[in-house]
Amino acid sequence: MKEAVVAPGPTVKIIDSPIPEPNDDQVRIKIVVSGTNPKDWKLPTHYMPDLVINQGDDIAGIVDKVGANVTEFKVGDRVAAFHEMIKPHGSYAEYGIAWSHTTFPIPETISFEEAATIPLAAMTSAVALYVRLGFPSPVPVAEAPHESLPQPLDSTPLIVYGAGSAVGAFAIQLAVRSGIHPLICVAGKSAGFVEKLLDPSKGDVLIDYRAGDEVVVEGLQKALAGREALYALDAVSEKGSYANIAKVLSKTGGAKLTLVLKDAFDIAVKEYPEFDVSWTMVGAVHIDQKEFGRALYREFSRGLSEGWFEPHPHEVVPGGLEGLQVALDNLKNGKASAIKYVVRIAETKGVGVGTRFV
């Protein structure tokens, strides 16, 4: 089969690889569409230069084989899945492997392209809101207990910095579903997209970060209108974003700030000991949050069917795996605004032509 690996740069190389075999608790998926994420170029370029692997984690396709213990899925099912990061057999290939608990059905009304925008980013948002910040999960899970909140959800300000990113936008959707308001959101070029997700009648506000840090902080303070800021998700975690948030978080105790980048977390947890600073690492659903991951992925599937949960806007990069170089370069250069880049595997030159071997 054809598979793409990513080296520092990023540099994408397409190779021939054996078709992988699932273990007893996994499924093999014939991948129709793969999503992309910033980590796909950041990890090999900045953190793991010696690990040249298939970095893709967003799978959308058709179940091709199931492990002995898998009863929820069968061959032929349309599914999306979150591949376990930094492991073999990711989504940049004709076939990929996913654990059954991080695999979920795609409703017939949702395309493979749309489904490929969901797995990693949406689960990052869920872990941030319901595990790290402690909001009540829409599906009760023992792994994600929540504390009693100091005020009702509909009068609990939640700051979402980077609201136009996939993580930020999915967080807004989940917060709305959970009845959390007001949502105080910070975005830039994606402002028009974000505004459509908000409800001004419930106090939701959008602040444009392009006006500068001082204006952002003033906007956050104005939106809070004297209320305590106790909860914040920083879906950017770069370029001073968490510093702006820290200026408005409550200093009376109990304020929680969660970040999506480990480097930013390492700095912030030392700079702001007065806050409960955490790192939202989506890989937790393959470690200590497995049942949470299982429950929330099935909730995503239900939300897609019922219409209250929507995929992120996407752009198909032509050429299949050969288009990955463009997609990752665009991500590196900050060209993605309120979109996820996806690739159709069948568009890859040579796919299905003498490349299947086990």
Predicted structure pTM score: 0.95
Element containing residue 19 per DSSP (H, E): none
Range 187-192 average pLDDT? 93
Instruction: State the Cα angle at 159 between 170 and 214, rounded to 5°.
Output: 125
Contact at 8 Å (CB) between 315 and 341? Answer: yes
* Residue-wise pLDDT tens digits, 273-286: 999 999 999 999 99
Residues β-bridged to residue 257: 232, 277
Handedness of CA 64, 39, 196, 317 (dihedral sign): negative
Helix axis angle for 290-306 and 119-126, nearest 10°, is 110
The predicted structure's pLDDT at residue 144: 64
State the pLDDT at residue 138: 85
List, in order, residues 6 or more apart from 85 with CB less than 8 Å away.
Answer: 39, 57, 282, 283, 286
Kindly report, residue by residue over 18-66, the tens digit of the pLDDT: 999 999 999 999 999 999 999 999 999 999 999 999 999 999 999 999 9
CB 308: neighbour CB atoms within 10 A? 12
Least confident of 88-97, 140-149, 150-159: 140-149
Confidence of residue 155 (pLDDT cuts 50, 70, 90): confident
pLDDT digits (tens, 9 = 90+) for 103-152: 999 999 999 999 999 999 999 999 999 999 999 988 877 666 666 676 68
CB 297 within 8 A of CB 309: no
Closest CA to 141 of 132, 154, 149, 130: 130
**Nearest alpha-carbon partner for 187 in 216, 171, 169, 209:** 209
- The pLDDT confidence band at residue 354, using thresholds 50, 70 and 90, is very low
Mean pLDDT across 55-82:
98
